[in-house]
A = this chain, B = another copy of it.
Amino acid sequence: MEFLQNTWYFAAWGADIEPGKLFARTLLGKPLVFFRPSGGAVVALDDRCAHRAAPLSMGRLDGDRVVCGYHGLEFDGSGACVRNPHPSGRIPAAARVRSYPVVERHTGLWIWLGDEAADPALIPDFSKLDDTGPSVTRRDHMVMDAAYDLIVDNLLDCSHTSFLHEGILGNQPMIAAPTEVRQSGRTLNVIRTARNVPPPGMFDMLFRQDGAPVDCWTDFRWDPPSCLLLDVGVTPPGRPKEEGTGYFGTHILTPETERTTHYQFAATRWNIRAGSETEEMRQKISDLRRFAFEEQDEPMIRAQQRIIDLTPPHELKRVLLETDAGVVHWRRIIDEMIAAERRPSERLAVGA
* A318 at interface by CB-CB < 8 Å: yes
B contact residues around A186 at 8 Å (CB): none
Proximity bits, A307-323, B CB within 8 Å = 1, else 0: 11011000011111111
Which of B67, B87, B159, B304 contacts A72 (CB under 8 A)?
Answer: B159
Question: Mind listing 13 A-B residue pairs with CB under 8 Å?
Answer: A50-B319, A53-B311, A54-B300, A58-B299, A69-B163, A70-B163, A70-B164, A71-B157, A72-B159, A86-B321, A88-B322, A92-B319, A95-B319
State whether B54 touches A321 (Cβ < 8 A): no
State whether B175 touches A69 (Cβ < 8 A): no
Q: Report which residue of A85, A94, A318, A319 has the largest number of chain B beta carbons within 10 angstroms of its beta carbon.
A: A319
* A187 at interface by CB-CB < 8 Å: no
Copies of this chain present in the complex amount to 3
Which of under 10, 10 to 19, 20 to 34, or 35 or more describes the interface residues of A?
35 or more
B contact residues around A310 at 8 Å (CB): 26, 29-31
Proximity bits, A55-92, B CB within 8 Å = 1, else 0: 10011000000011111110000000000111110101
Q: For the complex, give the distance between the alpha carbons of A222 and B34 in Å.
A: 38
State whether A159 touches B86 (Cβ < 8 A): yes
Residues of A with Cβ closer than 8 Å to B? 26, 29-31, 47-48, 50-55, 58-59, 67-73, 84-88, 90, 92, 94-95, 153, 157, 159-160, 162-164, 175-178, 299-300, 303-304, 306-308, 310-311, 316-323
Q: For the complex, give the distance between the alpha carbons of A68 and B318 in Å.
A: 14
- Given A26-B310, A176-B87, CB of A94 within 8 Å of CB of B319: yes
Q: For the complex, give the distance between the alpha carbons of A320 and B322 in Å.
A: 60
Q: Report which residue of A47, A300, A306 has the largest number of chain B beta carbons within 10 angstroms of its beta carbon.
A: A300
Q: For the complex, give the distance between the alpha carbons of A17 and B307 in Å.
A: 21
A309 CB to closest chain B CB (Å) equals 10
A83 CB to closest chain B CB (Å) equals 11
Supplied contacts A71-B323, A86-B175, 8 more A-B pairs, CB within 8 Å: A29-B310, A68-B163, A69-B163, A71-B163, A72-B175, A87-B175, A90-B322, A94-B317
Q: For the complex, give the distance between the alpha carbons of A136 and B331 in Å.
A: 56
B contact residues around A31 at 8 Å (CB): 306-307, 310
B contact residues around A300 at 8 Å (CB): 54, 58, 69-70
B contact residues around A58 at 8 Å (CB): 299-300, 303
The 3 closest A-B pairs by CB, nearest first: A92-B319, A95-B319, A54-B304
State whether B48 touches A311 (Cβ < 8 A): yes
State whether B319 touches A51 (Cβ < 8 A): yes
B contact residues around A68 at 8 Å (CB): 163
A184 CB to closest chain B CB (Å) equals 25
State whether A50 touches B163 (Cβ < 8 A): no
Q: Report which residue of A71, A87, A162, A164 has the largest number of chain B beta carbons within 10 angstroms of its beta carbon.
A: A71
